[in-house]
Structures are given as C-alpha cells and as structure tokens.
Structure 1
Amino acid sequence: MHGEAGNNGGLIRGRFGEGMAEVMEQINASIGFDRRMAMQDIDGSIAHVTMLCEQDIVSTTDAEAIKEGLETIRGEISAGEFTYSVALEDIHMNIESRLGELIGAASGRLHTARSRNDQVATSFRLWVRDAHDRALQLVEQLILVLVEQAEQNTATFMPGYTHLQSAQPVSFGHHLMAYVEMFGRDHGRLRDSRLRLNESPLGAAALAGTSFPIDRERTAQLLGFSGPMHNSLDAVSDRDFAVEYLSAASLCMTHLSRLAEEIVLWMSPQYNFIELSDAWTTGSSIMPQKRNPDAAELVRGKTGRVHGSLFGLLTVMKALPLTFSKDMQEDKERTFDGADTFELCLKAMIGMIGDMKPRAAEMGAAAGAAHATATDLADWLTRELDMPFREAHHITGRLVRLADEHACTLAELSLVDMREVDARINEGVFSVLGVEESVTSRRSLGGTSPECVAREVEAWRSRVRAASSQ
C-alpha cells in the first residue's frame, strides 16, 4: 500500500524491470479497503499543493490545475464514477494516476517534498480523527437517551444486586445513571485521544524531512491540526492514534456489552423488567411465543470483534523498528472494522434504550423480595437504638431468619415477633422496611434517592451541552 517501492502501473519507476508476481500483487495491494480514505487523501493533497504554491515551489498555474483536478476526482468518487485499479496498489496512487489523466504532466508536481509515507500517515490520521468525531457524537446521544430514561424513572424501583443476588432496592433511574457515568468516561477518553492525535505528519516525507523550503505549520493549519509533529521518524511510523482510538472504543464496547447483558436479563420471563418493541427484537423459527433481544446479544457479541481489532493492531506494531515497514499496511482494516462495529453498536444501543419500556410493577415487586431492606433495618437499629453496627447486623440476621420461618417479609413481621429477638425495637422500625422508604432515604452524594438522581440528570445534561459546544 505505502512505502517507497513498487511498480504502481509505471507511476514509480527505477531499478525494477519486471512486473510483480500475481500473488505479490494481491498481497501488496490495499485499494480494496483503503479507498475509504479517498476524501482525506484529497484534503491532504490540496493542503500540500496550496503550501507548495505559497512557498513558490510550485507555480500558481500548476497548483490551480492540481486542485481543480483533485476536486473533479472528489466528485467522481462521490458519484460512484471513479475506476479503481488493483495494479496501482492503493488509493493514493489511484488518485495520482487519475490526476495525471485529467491534467497531464503538471500532476507530477503534487508529490514534490512529499512521500507516500507521510501522505498515508496524514490521510489515516485524518480518517481516525473523523472516526473520533463520529464516536463522540454517538456517545453523547447515548448519554442523553439514558438520561431521558433515568429522568422518567427516578421513582421506579428495582432490586440492586451484588453477585447477581438481590441486595438493596434502588431507583431504576439511578441504575441507568451508572451507565451514564461509564459512557461519560468513555467520552473523556475519546476526547483526550483526539487531542493527542491532532498533530500533522505531513512534510516528514519518507522519514528524514525534505530539503525543500516547505511550511509545515501552514499545512497543519489548513488541515485543522494543532501543529506539525516534531520528529520526522516518529511522524511516519506512529500509529498510537489508531491504537488509542481502538483502546477507547474497546473499553466503551465493554460498557455497551455490560448494558446489553442487563437488557437480555431484564427481558427474560424470570425478570420481566422491561419491554422492547418489534423494532429491536426478533422471533423464533419454531417457537411463536418468543421475542428475542437479538440486538442486545449482537452488541454483546461484537464486543469481541472490536477487542480483536485492538489486539491485532497492537500485535502488528509490537516489534517494528523505525520507521516504515510494510507490516503497517495491516493497520487500516483493523481500524476500519473496529470503527464500523463500534459505531453500529452505539447506534443500536441508542435505539434500544430509547425504545425500552420498564415494567414498574414487576420491578417494584422484585425490589422488595429477598429481604432487600435488611440493611435499612440494621441502619435503623444503629441510628435509633444506638447499637454498634455489628450488633445491629447480628440482630437483623436473626430477624431475617425469623421472617423466613414465618414465610413472610420483614415488614410483615409483627412488633411482638420482633421484640422476641430484641425488646428495644419499637413501632418506628416499620418506617424503614418498605422499598420506597429505603430508596428515598439514601440521599448521600451519589445515592439512589429520586432527588439525587434528578440532580445528576440535570448535571449530565449540562455536561453534554458543554461538550457539544466545544
């Protein structure tokens, strides 16, 4: 794909007198996938020739012809009228060849003070920057749809779990806001990664810079970079930006997978906590009663695909000496596939969360099961009867065992029964044994009470607005 050697249909001539073997042509060519960088390549070339003209390295006449030809090619690609050639290896040589057909010898001046190494590094970096921007917008949308659901369900109660065992009742809105926190961190990682990648390799040439009086600050400015990279060797060999993108995507996919798993559980008859419409579920070929959460399962499954893209790229890069090696052609497909999968899963989750309808009655009933307010009872004994917590914990355990013996809930035990365990217990105990009382009492910062959830909802809306305006 890139590098300084190759036949390239005659565009690059020199010591090579014979054509490539057929298999060599197949393994060497990348046009089948790197055509996705066509627009970024054109943008980089226009910036480069603009600078060359401003520096009096290329004439205004030739520069204008080159830019006009490149815009013609952009239109051909957009219209699906561009013919790609495997013999030309990659998108960069395909565009350069077509430019020669359109404007003649002047096209050859475009590659002045530039190598395919810095050309490819620039195009790929621009593509990954665009992928960051798409992902950031999608994560913001996901946060907002979660926030919307949380706001509608601040007072919808469900079991909170540890070890997947019912532990304490919580607000369903609070549960959803936990994922908002996760995706908020993902947003921050993507934003930080974008800041780090936003340096221009253009002008590093093959590996050592160039003797032409180029202005790298100018090309960086034209391409929206914060500035040029300061080491030509690093500029052409660095792929950290792709690794960082896939790292952030992989961790976000892990969060998507956790949420997808919960959707799968919540939709099962054993939970029956939520509904998803036909838009996000499928049926069974043999069991007509079923509604399968396939979209959630696919998000869960595709997580491994994005993780695989990350590990594949890390493996490609792990032992490469400076600067360019042909191994680095393997960076594109992994990054493209990882980005496609990541964006698709974000869109699917946005759709599912927006479509999701909680079953409040079923959630509430489950929230009170398995003596979920036992901790509230222990807290009450500690607070109201001035017991050491460990003593309160022991007494609560005895009350739980008594409720099991009576086949009832803690709230259904009589005061007489409770006083058989500890005579100090009074009527006030019943004020903390209900699910609603338990949830609303937890008003500490980060707690599950509806008022705490409502505050976090507003705080996150403000954060997303601020992020979107940057």
Structure 2
Amino acid sequence: MLLRGSRLGDISGEVLNFISSRDADLWIAEADVLVDMAHLLMLYERGLIRREDCARILTALKELLAEGFDVLGEGEDIHEAIEAYVIERVGPAGGRMHTARSRNDEVATCIRIALREQMLGLMEELIQLIDVLVQIAYDTRERIIPGYTHLQHAQPTTLAHHLLAHADALIRDLERFEDAYERVNLSPLGAAAFASTGFEIDRHMTCELLGFSGIVENSMDAVSGRDFALEVLADTSILMISLSRIAEEIILWSTSEFGYVEVNDLFASTSSIMPQKKNPDTAELVRAKSGTAIGSLVGALSICKALPMSYNRDMQELTPHIWRGIGAARSSLRVMRGCISTLRFDFERLERSSTDGFTTATELADSMVRITGIPFRTAHQIVGRIARLPGKPSMEDLDRIAMEVANVRPSLMGFTAEDLERALDARTNVAMRARPGGPAPAEVSKMLDARKEYLKSASSRLRERRSRVESAISHMMELVDRTACSS
C-alpha cells in the first residue's frame, strides 16, 4: 500500500475494505484529477517542482482522464489510487505532486467541487419544475377548484392559485440552494493536514484555477468543516418535503374518491394481479425518497456531532450521505417535472366539487356583514346553523335561522335573494378575493407574471455561476496542455 510506507505493516483485506472509501469516491474521481492539476500548476509557478516533472505528471493525469477510472489499481481511496497510477507511469518523480498537500485538504476540495456541480444541476432541474407549475397555472387561472384545510372542503379557489402556492414553496427552496452555493464554492486547498504548510504556496492561484469564489481562510476550519454539506442536506430535505406534498396530492387526487387528475401512463404502473389498476408509483416513490433525504441529513448530523478539531476519519462516512441525499432530490425533481407536465385534470369534476361541503359559507357570512352591518361573529353563528341544513339555503331559511340565532331578519336589512345567490356562487367567491395574493384570476395573473420574471433572473444567475466555473476549468486545462507539451 502506497501510503502505509515504512510506518505501518501489512493490512488484512477485511480491514482494508472497512476503511476504504472507493465506492463513494466515484463521485469525486474527476474532481480529484482537477485538484491535482491545479496544485501541480501552482507548484510549478512557485518553483516547487521542475517543469519536466510537472509536465510528465500532468500528461499522466490527462491519460487517466482519457482512459477512465476503471484502470486504477488498489488503494484505500481514490486519491491513493490516482497517485499510485501516476507514480507507476512517471516513476518516483510522480510523488512530487503531493508536495505541500495533505489528503485532508485534497478531500475537502474534491467534495466541494463535486457538490458544486451537483448543486448547479439541481438548481437547473428545480427551475425547470417551477417553470412547469407556472405554465400550467397560467393556463388554469379561470379553473375553479375546491380549496382544502384539514383535507376538508374549505373555500373555492382556482387551480392556478393552488399550483402557484407549490411553485412559491419551491422558489424558496431554490433561494436556499443559491445561498448555500456561495458557502460551498470556497477552496480549502492549501490548508494541508490542518496547520498549513511551510512551502511558499499560493492558495489564491489554485482557488482561481478551480473556479472557486474564495478560500476557506482558517486552515483548521478548511479541512475539518463540513457544515457546508450539512446545510445542503438540510436544504435538500426541505426541498423533498415540498416535493412530497405535491406527490401526496397527486396520489390523493388520482384516486376514485377524488378523481381530479389522471397520471400519464409513463409515470404509473399496474398490479401484478389486478389488471384494472393504474397506480401513481412515481409519486409514491418521490414521497418515499423524502425519507431518504431526511435520513441522509440525520445520518450526517449524527456523524459530525461532537467531533473534536480538526480532521477525523469519521468524516469519510459523511460523504455517502451527501451523494445519497442530493441524488434522491435530483431524480425526484426530474420525475416530478415529467409527471406534473403530463397530468390530465378533470376540470368539470373539480368545478362541481368546488361548492361541496358548503365551501361558500365564508362569503355568505362576509356578505351579510358588508350588506346588513351585523357583527361577523353573529353572521358566523347564523351561517354555521345554515350549514347543518340539507341542500342549498333559501332566503326563507336565512331569515328563519337569523331570527332564531340573533333576532334579526337579513331580508329587512337590505340583503336580497340576488345577494344570497352571488354569495353562494363559487366563481363570484373567487373573483371577489382580489386582494394581494388572492385567487382572483387578475391577481393570480400578476403573481404569475412576477414569477416568470423571477425565473428569468434565476436562470441568468445559474448561467453566470456555471459559466464562471466552466471558464476557470477551461483556462486551467489550457495551462495543463501547454505545460504538458513542454516536456
């Protein structure tokens, strides 16, 4: 084993497997090579490695990228395996690439690079899902549906208003990831084991080459801090809660009891024994994967709890949780986008259901207050009694119950049969709720226009972030090519 050297003796296969991180390291393999290249270019720039040795090592690393990581031999982690690969091709001079560096700062940097890339992909997929919700909402501004509280019919609203509520929750999720990205995109490279190094290195050079926006300044914090990963896992868990709420509604609304939507065949399955079944399996799995994300967060928190400064091998067990959590979120985003974009809504059934359970009761009470001037609590008590009646209430019902409850007669106070009819109409209910954030189509249109502008801005910010990283890596690879060709 390359890193055991003369200090330690042989190691058993069982122990090697126990301490190995090779499976999880596949996520950071390419990032590791990029880190090696940036470090080598910096060492050469600072006069800490000969041009010939630097060129030969860079050539070997380029060959590894071309061949793929399956060619790597044994090693307890990807970093040792890559170093062994380089030494095998370059000879003892290959060991110079680890000058002024520890696996501690190397690993921390690789995780941030890989996580940065995952976050950029996740934010793009999240923007796409929000855009689907906004587009469907834009087309359904006039579609009346029942609104719910406690899963009971509450008040009429529109499908657009309902979908926009989900979109806004996802926008907050996006903002959390954007905020966390700035803390992820910082370079620990150059911190060495934890106490920096006596070599005259340039941390800012490697930071720029790798597309980071700054460095993690304190060298001890740089190698031991994993709060950036915990923050991303927390954001991922919150996102998955948002997705699980949408998934749950798809599951409920597609049942025979609701019958509001039909899931496209591509996102459904059938039973192995009951041929009539059409099950919303993808939505159910999204609902389940929220548990996977939460479990990843709890596992990561438990590993990081009470770790003394600075680096501890416990952190190796953290990284699989990172990839598991963010992987569950990204796959869920892609599936939900496809599922939602292909849903078929039964608009007639939705509108018929919009007044079930006397959902217009609130507006009836409000109308009585506005027209007759009676206190709202009195109107609430009158309408509460009316709600116990079967069928649609008449003016006679209203007068009779109002007399029983409060000794008032609304028909003698300016409240007419036409007022009653308007109050009981679902569309009138929705149209009257034109206050900021309400379900009235005109108000929803304002919100949707604002969300479209927000998505344009978010997409622009995402392109800028990705462009900065890609430009930096592209520039570094040009330097690698020039340096490697000079040997």
TM-score, with normalisation over the residues of structure 1? 0.93
1:468 is matched with which residue?
459
Aligned counterpart for 1:457 among listed residues 434, 448, 458: 448
2:254 to 267, 291, 306: 267
Specify which of 196, 202, 205 is matched with residue 218 of structure 1.
205
* Equivalent residue runs for 1:8-19 within 5 Å: 9-16=1-8, 18-19=9-10
Which stretch shifts more, 101-110 or 259-268?
A: 101-110
Q: Establish whether residue 313 from structure 1 lines up as the match of residue 270 from structure 2.
A: no
Q: Give the drift of 1:60.
A: 2.1
1:417 to 388, 392, 397: 397
Give the match for residue 200 of structure 1: 187
Secondary structure at the aligned position of 1:285 is classed as coil
Uncovered stretches (5+) of structure 1, i.e. residues with no partner:
1-8
Please show how residues 61-460 of structure 1 align to structure 2 within 5 Å. 61-77=52-68, 82-85=70-73, 87-401=74-388, 404=389, 407-410=390-393, 413=394, 415-420=395-400, 421=402, 422=409, 423=411, 424=413, 425-426=415-416, 427-460=418-451
Residues 200-245 of structure 1: per-residue CA shift (max 9 Å, x gap): 1000001100011101011111111122111111111111111111
Deviations 1:11-55 (A, max 9, x none): 442322x21122211101111221221110011111111111111
Question: Residue 468 of structure 2 aligns with which residue?
Answer: none
What is the aligned residue count? 450
CA distance in 2, matches of 1:448, 1:199: 43
Distance in 2 between residues matched to 1:307 and 1:416, nearest whole Å: 56
Partner of 1:37: 28
Any idea what the Cα deviations from partners look like across 1:417-466, whole Å, max 9, x if unmatched?
33334333313232221111111111000101111211111111111110
Displacement of 1:391 in angstroms is 1.6
What TM-score, normalized by structure 2, do the two folds share?
0.90
- Whether contact under 8 Å (1:306, 1:341) holds in the other structure is yes
| C-alpha distance in structure 2 between counterparts of 1:100 and 1:114, whole Å | 16
Q: Tell me whether 253-262 or 420-429 shows the greater mean CA deviation.
A: 420-429
- Whole-Å separation in 2 of the counterparts to 1:72 and 1:201: 26
1:22 paired with 2:22, answer no
Match of 2:50 in 1: 59
Specify the code of the residue in structure 2 equivalent to 1:188: E
Shift of 1:247: 0.4
The percentage of counterpart residues that share the same residue type is: 39
1:275-303 deviation line (CA, Å, top 9, x unaligned): 11110111112222221111111111111
Q: How far apart, in 1, do the equivalents of 2:34 and 2:244 lie?
A: 36
**Alpha-carbon contact 1:51-1:219 (below 8 Å) kept:** yes
Aligned residue type for 2:54: A
Contact 1:128 1:241 in 2 (8 A): no
Secondary structure class of the residue paired with 1:248 = helix
Asked if 1 retains the 8 angstrom alpha-carbon contact of 2:2 and 2:80, the reply is: no
Q: CA deviation at 1:348?
A: 1.1
What letter corresponds to residue 320 of structure 1 in structure 2? L
Q: Helix, strand or coil: the match of 1:286?
A: coil
CA distance in structure 2 between the partners assigned to 1:296 and 1:228 by the alignment: 41
Instruction: String of CA shifts for 1:349-370, please: whole Å, max 9, x gaps.
Output: 1111111111101111111111
Whether the aligned pair in 2 keeps the contact of 1:31 and 1:84 (CA below 8 Å) is: no
Letter in 2 for 1:147: V
Distance (Å, rounded) in 1 between the aligned partners of 2:348 and 2:210:
55
Q: Which runs of 4+ in 1 moved over 4 A?
A: none
* Cα pair 2:72 2:85 within 8 Å, conserved: no
Cα distance in 1 for partners of 2:256, 2:155 equals: 21
Once the two structures are TM-superposed, the CA of residue 105 in structure 1 deviates from its matched residue by 2.8
Q: What is the CA–CA distance in structure 2 between the aligned matches of 1:381 and 1:457, rounded to whole Å?
A: 32
- C-alpha separation between the residues in 1 aligned to 2:42 and 2:67? 25
RMSD (Å) for aligned C-alpha atoms:
1.3
- Matches of 1:334 and 1:466 in 2, distance apart? 31
Q: Distance in 1 between matches of 2:218 and 2:31?
A: 22
Counterpart in the other structure of 1:6 = none
C-alpha distance in 1 between matches for 2:96 and 2:396: 96
Cα contact 2:20–2:76 (8 A) shared by 1: yes
Q: Give the letter for the 1:13 counterpart.
A: G
**Secondary structure of 1:88 counterpart:** coil
Q: Unmatched 5+ residue regions in structure 2? A: 403-408, 462-487
Q: Aligned partners of 1:301 and 1:417: how far apart in 2? A: 49
Contact 1:11 1:97 in 2 (8 A): no
- Helix, strand or coil at the partner of 2:71: coil
In structure 2, give the amino acid aligned to 1:254.
I
CA distance in 2, matches of 1:25, 1:101: 21
CA shift for structure 1 position 152: 1.3
* One-letter code aligned to 1:263: I
